[in-house]
Amino acid sequence: MTVLLPVIREQLHEAAARRARSPLQRLPGVRRFAGLGPLGAPGSGSRRGWRRPPLIALALLLGATGAAFGGRVIGFGSPAPASRVQLFTAPTTGEGALTPGTVRMLPVSTPDPAGGAPWGMREFTTSRGLGCVEVARLVDGRLVAIGQDGAFGDDGRYHELGVASGGAGFGDWCSALDRYHRLYLNDMWGEQPASAWQSRCYAPGTPAGGHSKGEPQCPLQDERNLYFGLLGPDAKSVTYVLDGQRHTLATSGPEGAYLIVTRATAGQLLKGVGTGSIVPVDGPITELHYRDGATCNLTRRSWIGGAYACTPSMQVPVGYVAPPSLSYTHAQAQTPVSARLIRTRAGYELRLAIRSRVALDNAESGYDFAWYVPGTRFENHGDWRTESDIAAGQTISTTTCPLPTGQVHGTISLFEPDETYKSKSEVVYAYKYEKIGELVGSFSVHVPRTPLPDDPETQRPRSPLTSCSAIEASERRFRAERRAFRRAHRLRPAVAP
Amino acid sequence: MDFDEASDGELLAASRSQPDAFAAFYDRYERVLVGYFARRTGDAEVAADLTAEVFAAALAAAHRYRPEHPSAAGWLFAIAHNKLMASLRRGRVEAQARRRLGIREPIELDAHELEQVESAASADGWVGELLERLPPLQREAVRARIVDERSYPDIAGELRTSQLVVRQRVSRGLSRLRAELEERT
Answer whether A12 sits within 8 Å of B162, measured CB to CB: no
Which CATH number belongs to the domain containing residue A337 in this structure?
Answer: 2.60.40.10
Residues of A in contact with B54 (CB under 8 A): 210
Residue A127 lies in a domain: yes
Judge if A229 and A332 occupy the same domain: no
Answer whether B102 sits within 8 Å of A281, measured CB to CB: no
Residue A365 lies in a domain: yes
- pLDDT tens per residue across span A421-439: 444 433 333 333 344 578 8
Residue A233 lies in a domain: yes
Q: Of chain B residues 129-148, which have a CB less than 8 A from chain A?
A: 145-146
Answer whether B95 sits within 8 Å of A206, measured CB to CB: no
B99 touches chain A (CB under 8 A): yes
Query: A142 pLDDT band (50/70/90 cuts)?
Result: very high
Q: Are strands A223-230 and A142-146 parallel, antiparallel or unpaired?
A: unpaired
Domain ranges of chain B: 8-123, 126-184
Residue, of B23 and B178, whose pLDDT is higher: B23
Judge if A130 and A269 occupy the same domain: yes
Judge if A307 and A355 occupy the same domain: no
Sign of CA dihedral B175, B177, B183, B185: negative
Are A283 and A237 spatial neighbours (Cβ–Cβ below 8 Å)?
no
Residues of A in contact with B95 (CB under 8 A): 494-497
Q: Quote the Cα angle for A48-A49-A55, to 5°.
A: 115
Kindly report the pTM of this predicted structure.
0.59
Judge if A375 and A278 occupy the same domain: no
pLDDT over threshold 80, residue B18: yes
pLDDT over threshold 70, residue B144: yes
Residue A463 to chain B, least CA–CA distance (Å)? 14
pLDDT of residue A177: 86
Answer whether A267 sits within 8 Å of B162, measured CB to CB: no
B29 touches chain A (CB under 8 A): no
Size of chain A, expressed as the number of residues it contains: 497
Pick from A169-173, A429-433, B14-18, B55-59 the range whose average pLDDT is largest.
B55-59
Residue A5 to chain B, least CA–CA distance (Å)? 7
Domain hosting A279: range is 84-143+163-202+217-311
- pLDDT tens per residue across span A145-161: 998 877 788 888 999 98
Listed residues A248, A283, A311: the one ending a domain: A311
CA atoms within 13 A on the CB side of A271: 19
Looking at A223-227, A244-248, A301-305, which range is the least confident one?
A: A301-305
Residue A79 to chain B, least CA–CA distance (Å)? 18
Are B185 and B70 spatial neighbours (Cβ–Cβ below 8 Å)?
yes
Judge if A349 and A470 occupy the same domain: yes
For A418, the closest of B145, B162, B171 (CB atoms) is: B162
CA gap A235, A255 in Å, rounded = 8
Judge if A330 and A307 occupy the same domain: no
CB atoms within 10 A of CB B6: 18
CA gap A331, A412 in Å, rounded = 14
A294 touches chain B (CB under 8 A): no
CB atoms within 10 A of CB B162: 26
pLDDT over threshold 60, residue A206: no
Q: Of chain A residues 106-135, which have a CB less than 8 A from chain B?
A: none
Residue A260 lies in a domain: yes
Residue B67 to chain A, least CA–CA distance (Å)? 10
**Which residue of chain A has the CA closest to B48?**
A5
**Which residue of chain B has the CA closest to A42?**
B100
Is the domain B126-184 a CATH 3.40.605.10 member? no
For B45, the closest of A213, A305, A493 (CB atoms) is: A493
Pick from A24-38, A141-155, B93-107, B113-127 the range whose average pLDDT is largest.
A141-155
Helix (H, G, I), strand (E, B) or coil at A319: coil
CA gap A224, A190 in Å, rounded = 7
A211 touches chain B (CB under 8 A): yes
Residues of B in contact with A210 (CB under 8 A): 54, 57-58, 61, 78-80, 82-83, 97
Residue A70 lies in a domain: no
Residue A16 lies in a domain: no
Q: Of chain B residues 36-65, which have a CB less than 8 A from chain A?
A: 41-43, 45-46, 48-49, 51-61, 63-65
Judge if A306 and A346 occupy the same domain: no
Residue A155 lies in a domain: no
Q: Where are the alpha helices (DSSP H) in chain B?
A: 8-14, 19-41, 44-61, 73-90, 96-100, 111-120, 125-131, 136-142, 152-159, 163-184
A1 touches chain B (CB under 8 A): yes
Residue A255 Cα to chain centre, angstroms: 22
CA gap A306, A425 in Å, rounded = 6
Residue B133 to chain A, least CA–CA distance (Å)? 16
Answer whether A275 sits within 8 Å of B167, measured CB to CB: yes
Residue A361 phi/psi, 5-degree rounding, is: -130, 20
A421 touches chain B (CB under 8 A): yes
Judge if A236 and A366 occupy the same domain: no
Judge if A276 and A299 occupy the same domain: yes
Domain count, chain A: 2
Residue of A2, A3, A8 to mutate, interface with B, max B Cβ within 10 Å: A8
CA gap B50, B33 in Å, rounded = 9
Helix (H, G, I), strand (E, B) or coil at A265: coil
pLDDT of residue B36: 77
Q: Of chain A residues 324-363, which have a CB less than 8 A from chain B?
A: 363
pLDDT over threshold 50, residue A24: no
Residues of B in contact with A5 (CB under 8 A): 30, 34, 48, 51-52, 107, 109, 113, 116-117
pLDDT of residue A62: 29
pLDDT of residue A382: 74
Sign of CA dihedral A149, A155, A158, A161: negative
Answer whether A491 sits within 8 Å of B87, measured CB to CB: yes
Judge if A382 and A234 occupy the same domain: no
With residue A193 as reference, give the H or E element that holds it.
strand A185-193
A383 touches chain B (CB under 8 A): yes
Are B56 and A18 spatial neighbours (Cβ–Cβ below 8 Å)?
no
Judge if A352 and A475 occupy the same domain: yes
For B59, the closest of A15, A199, A202 (CB atoms) is: A15
Judge if A276 and A398 occupy the same domain: no
Answer whether A497 sits within 8 Å of B106, measured CB to CB: yes
Query: A402 pLDDT band (50/70/90 cuts)?
Result: confident
Mean pLDDT for chain B overall = 75
Answer whether A20 sits within 8 Å of B18, measured CB to CB: yes
Residue A361 lies in a domain: yes
